[in-house]
């Protein structure tokens, strides 16, 4: 990442070089998403009905200054498999869970053997249909993506990886190569991007990022409003800025390049999607719509059927 920094204050610099603004901490923002309140056992966050977040590693590929889990920095470097037993038991006992997201920290910083062991345990649970991994590794440490790692992950399909790129400059040749190796292993790839002031709060920058992700075989999945994270207020933009960016994407580039724009609601409310206003008027007779270019169109509602006899 250091090689990508062109000058102090550029988009890469802002993400990785600490500033005194990070010392500005407001009360109540240590765990703004209430993950700990939705943790029935250690290392599990169960917020949504049919899926759970499984924290398998406290170590990050990089210290994300805008992530709510920065509160966990300084935890032990490695979680022993024995410490995950209560999490495995919880997943075994809760048959409503069909989808598990391995997160952290960064799961792909674990050894090949540990990744294999965790995936094997999860795949042995009959009601778990989908495994997912959230990782910043393809961006920060693409050399970690090896043929051996890809061969391990390939054993556990259906398995998905959501990675995290915030700026088009992060899609280096090495990163694109790593993404290609994962895609060649049959792993569907998505990207979760955080809207950050001075980094990507510009429609053209965000469009370039989404288009380059698609070219690298990654489907843009989410643009997040920056969480209300302690020490990250300087990264936050307005919601209006996010809506402006979505409006500059939808219709102006491929629909494949338009992710969901969401707020991960403070207090544990989960992801709430946001859209620009495209419905101008809604009645029983018609819907008046505004398209991406600002033109209005009318769509007639169906007539009630006339009952005969």
Catalytic residue among 6, 120, 271, 298: 271
Q: Which structure tokens are listed for 217?
A: 């075989």
Query: Exposed, middle or buried by CB within 10 Å (0-12, 13-18, 19+), for 38?
Result: middle
Is residue 227 among the annotated active site residues? Answer: yes
Is residue 184 among the annotated active site residues? Answer: no
Catalytic residue among 10, 16, 48, 71: 48
Is residue 123 among the annotated active site residues? Answer: no
Closest CA to 232 of 65, 62, 18, 20: 65
What are the angstrom distances between the C-alpha of 255 and each of 166, 184, 252?
19, 23, 9
Is residue 69 among the annotated active site residues? Answer: yes
Is residue 226 among the annotated active site residues? Answer: no
Is residue 75 among the annotated active site residues? Answer: no
Catalytic residue among 69, 207, 212, 236: 69
Is residue 284 among the annotated active site residues? Answer: no
Contact 90, 121 (CB under 8 A): no
What are the angstrom distances between the C-alpha of 238 and each of 235, 241, 258?
10, 5, 19
Q: Which structure tokens are listed for 196?
A: 């950050």
Catalytic residue among 67, 119, 139, 191: 67
Q: Which structure tokens are listed for 237?
A: 């933009």
Is residue 150 among the annotated active site residues? Answer: no
Residue linked to tokens 């990886």:
161
Is residue 191 among the annotated active site residues? Answer: no
Is residue 51 among the annotated active site residues? Answer: yes
Catalytic residue among 31, 64, 139, 236: 64
Catalytic residue among 60, 119, 139, 226: 60
Catalytic residue among 51, 132, 136, 212: 51
Catalytic residue among 201, 226, 227, 236: 227
Which residues are tagged catalytic?
47-48, 51, 60, 64, 67, 69, 227, 264, 271
């Amino acid at each position: 990442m250091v090689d990508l920094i062109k000058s102090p204050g550029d988009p890469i610099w802002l993400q990785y070089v600490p500033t005194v603004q990070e010392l500005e901490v407001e009360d109540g923002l240590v765990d703004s998403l209430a993950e700990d309140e939705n943790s029935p056992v250690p290392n599990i966050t169960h917020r949504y009905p049919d899926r759970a977040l499984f924290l398998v590693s406290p170590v990050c590929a990089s210290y994300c200054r805008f992530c709510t889990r920065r509160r966990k920095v300084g935890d032990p470097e490695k979680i022993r498999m024995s410490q995950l037993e209560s999490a495995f038991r919880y997943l075994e006992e809760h048959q409503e869970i069909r989808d598990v997201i391995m997160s952290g920290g960064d799961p792909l910083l674990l050894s090949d053997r540990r990744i294999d062991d965790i995936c094997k345990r999860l795949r042995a649970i009959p009601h778990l249909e989908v495994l997912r991994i959230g990782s910043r590794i393809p961006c920060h440490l693409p050399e970690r993506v090896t043929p051996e790692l890809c061969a391990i992950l390939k054993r556990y399909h259906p398995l998905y990886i959501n990675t995290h790129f915030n700026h088009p400059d992060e899609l280096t040749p090495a990163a694109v190569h790593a993404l290609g190796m994962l895609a060649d292993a049959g792993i569907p790839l998505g990207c979760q991007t955080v809207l950050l002031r001075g980094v990507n709060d510009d429609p053209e920058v965000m469009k370039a990022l989404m288009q380059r992700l698609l070219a690298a075989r990654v489907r843009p999945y989410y643009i997040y409003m920056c969480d209300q994270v302690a020490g990250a207020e300087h990264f936050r933009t307005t919601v209006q800025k996010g809506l402006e960016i979505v409006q500059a994407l939808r219709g102006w580039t491929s629909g494949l390049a338009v992710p969901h724009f969401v707020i991960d609601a403070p207090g544990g409310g989960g992801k709430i999607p946001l859209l620009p206003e495209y419905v101008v008027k809604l009645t029983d007779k018609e819907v008046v719509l505004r398209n991406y270019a600002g033109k209005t169109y009318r769509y007639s509602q169906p007539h009630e059927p006339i009952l005969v006899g």
